[in-house]
């Protein structure tokens, strides 16, 4: 077997990889526009939105920039409880926004009560939330957090990074009133890196009209102008779109609910295994990621040695992120990862533990 258990890029189905070899066509053509309209229609199903989904070139971080740059003139509240929410805060600041931090310790969630308090103290145009903190394996209670924003500060836009969860975990974009929600191609959607996807509400676009200095490349209104013509302002990532088309067909044929259940089952299996083997997840019960398990390294495993051992068997996992390196390790179970892959990984891991 050859399989990666890292939280992106993930393994891509060979048929999806092959789809990229389809020849190029002019992007200003009815043929391309038809395919592009089709991928957007399928993406709307995955995003659980009726509104719109953009499909621009750029990785997910580019859409973090799009969100903060277009959807606030000045005041942003950044919820920070891990590396990617920290990045989003930095993106806001370096785009000249006045961003305040609502912080929680790495490994903890953003508490809805604390978000409510912060929103009562000051009026914010937008709040940024990372749904699934890939660095810590924490799933923030997004539905509750969004409900708090709607209740306490209804004019504040809700910006969500769902890079490592969308497609693997049910996120109800329209029902929960999320204004801007982004993901990358190379994680739960199991595509090669290079594309991002974002849904935006009508009120988000209305807000963008009032914001100065939206830039050019990441201007949401320019994106919208082209989206309604089934196109992009710049040259699209054509090969990736061929792959996207095939992968979305696979995902929708499998059924999204089955996919969510399958991710939850893999997370259960890995997290239960960790406990049986004298370790435990970093996140508290009820808030553990369904797509990437961050496990406390309570057995003092030499992660580099473990990965060397695994690599000889065609597998690899991820070390902890930043300060959590070696103190934790991460096993991703997203995209096309199947339970039999997990079984094989855990069996090899156990054999390694016996050699320690």
Q: Which of 278, 279, 293, 265 is nearest to 107 (CA)?
A: 293
Instruction: Kindly indicate which of the ranges 113-121, 160-168, 279-287, 305-313 contains the residues binding ligand PLP, using the contact rule CB under 6 A.
Output: 160-168
Ordered DSSP codes for 250-292: HHHHH-HHHHHHHHHHHHHHHHHHHHHTT-EESSPTT-B-SSE
Say whether 76 sits in a helix, a strand or coil.
strand
Out of 66, 136, 164, 293, which residue is the one contacting ligand PLP (CB under 6 A)? 164
CB 20 within 8 A of CB 346: no
324 versus 348: smaller Cβ distance to ligand PLP:
324
251 token code pair? 């995902």
Question: Is residue 84 close enough to count as binding ligand PLP by CB under 6 A?
Answer: yes
Q: Where are the alpha helices (DSSP H) in the chain?
A: 14-19, 30-47, 60-71, 83-94, 112-121, 142-152, 202-208, 220-227, 238-254, 256-276, 303-311, 339-355
Question: Is residue 237 close enough to count as binding ligand PLP by CB under 6 A?
Answer: no
Q: Where are the alpha helices (DSSP H) in 11-52?
A: 14-19, 30-47
Site track 306-335 with ligand PLP (rule: CB under 6 A), x = hit: ------------------------------
Question: Is residue 66 close enough to count as binding ligand PLP by CB under 6 A?
Answer: no
Name the minimum Å distance from CB 196 to ligand PLP: 7
Out of 163, 188, 241, 246, which residue is the one contacting ligand PLP (CB under 6 A)? 163
Name the minimum Å distance from CB 189 to ligand PLP: 11
Question: Is residue 8 close enough to count as binding ligand PLP by CB under 6 A?
Answer: yes
Interface with ligand PLP (CB under 6 A), residue total 12
Out of 66, 78, 184, 328, which residue is the one contacting ligand PLP (CB under 6 A)? 184
Name the minimum Å distance from CB 126 to ligand PLP: 17
Query: Sign of the CA dihedral 316, 322, 325, 331?
Result: negative
Q: Which residues contact 117 (CB under 8 A, 6 or more apart)?
A: none
Question: Is residue 59 close enough to count as binding ligand PLP by CB under 6 A?
Answer: yes
Out of 56, 60, 141, 168, which residue is the one contacting ligand PLP (CB under 6 A)? 60
Question: What's the length of the chain?
Answer: 356
DSSP designation for 109: P
Distance from first CA to last CA of the chain, Å, rounded? 24
163 versus 348: smaller Cβ distance to ligand PLP:
163
108 versus 161: smaller Cβ distance to ligand PLP:
161
Name the minimum Å distance from CB 24 to ligand PLP: 24
User: ω before 9 within 30° of 0 (cis)?
Assistant: yes
Instruction: Kindly indicate which of the ranges 20-28, 42-50, 115-123, 157-165 contains the residues binding ligand PLP, using the contact rule CB under 6 A.
Output: 157-165
291 token code pair? 């797509």
Out of 68, 110, 130, 266, which residue is the one contacting ligand PLP (CB under 6 A)? 130
Residues at the site binding ligand PLP, with contacts judged by CB under 6 A: 7-8, 59-61, 84, 130, 134, 161, 163-164, 184
């Amino acid at each position: 077997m050859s399989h990666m258990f890292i939280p992106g890029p993930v393994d891509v189905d060979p048929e999806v990889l092959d789809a990229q070899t389809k020849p190029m066509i002019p992007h200003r053509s009815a043929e391309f526009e038809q395919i592009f309209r089709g991928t957007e229609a399928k993406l709307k199903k995955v995003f659980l939105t009726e509104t719109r989904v953009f499909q621009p070139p750029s990785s997910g971080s580019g859409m973090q920039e799009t969100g903060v740059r277009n959807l606030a003139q000045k005041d942003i509240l950044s919820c920070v409880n891990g590396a990617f929410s920290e990045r989003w805060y930095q993106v806001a600041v370096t785009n000249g926004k006045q961003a305040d931090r609502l912080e929680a310790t790495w490994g903890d969630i953003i508490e809805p009560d604390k978000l409510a308090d912060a929103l009562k103290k000051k009026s914010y145009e937008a709040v940024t939330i990372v749904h699934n903190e890939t660095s810590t394996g924490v799933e923030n209670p997004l539905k509750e957090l969004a409900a708090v924003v709607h209740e306490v500060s209804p004019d504040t836009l809700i910006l969500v990074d769902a890079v490592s969860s969308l497609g693997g975990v049910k996120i109800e974009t329209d029902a929960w009133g999320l204004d801007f929600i982004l993901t990358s191609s190379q994680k739960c959607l199991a595509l090669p890196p290079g594309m991002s996807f974002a849904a935006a509400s009508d009120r988000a676009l209305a807000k963008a009209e009032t914001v100065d200095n939206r830039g050019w490349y990441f201007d949401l209104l320019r994106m919208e102008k082209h989206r309604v013509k089934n196109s992009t302002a710049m040259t699209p990532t054509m090969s990736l779109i061929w792959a996207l088309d095939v992968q979305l067909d696979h995902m929708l044929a499998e059924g999204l609910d089955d996919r969510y259940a399958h991710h939850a089952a893999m997370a259960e299996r890995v997290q239960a295994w960790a406990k049986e083997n004298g370790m435990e997840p970093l996140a508290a019960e009820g808030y553990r990621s369904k797509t990437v398990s961050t496990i406390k390294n309570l057995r003092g495993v030499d992660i580099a040695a473990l990965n060397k051992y695994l690599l000889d068997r065609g597998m690899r996992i991820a070390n902890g992120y930043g300060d959590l390196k070696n103190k934790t390790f991460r096993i991703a179970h997203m995209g096309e990862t199947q339970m039999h892959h997990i079984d094989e990984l855990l069996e090899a891991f156990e054999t390694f533990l016996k050699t320690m």
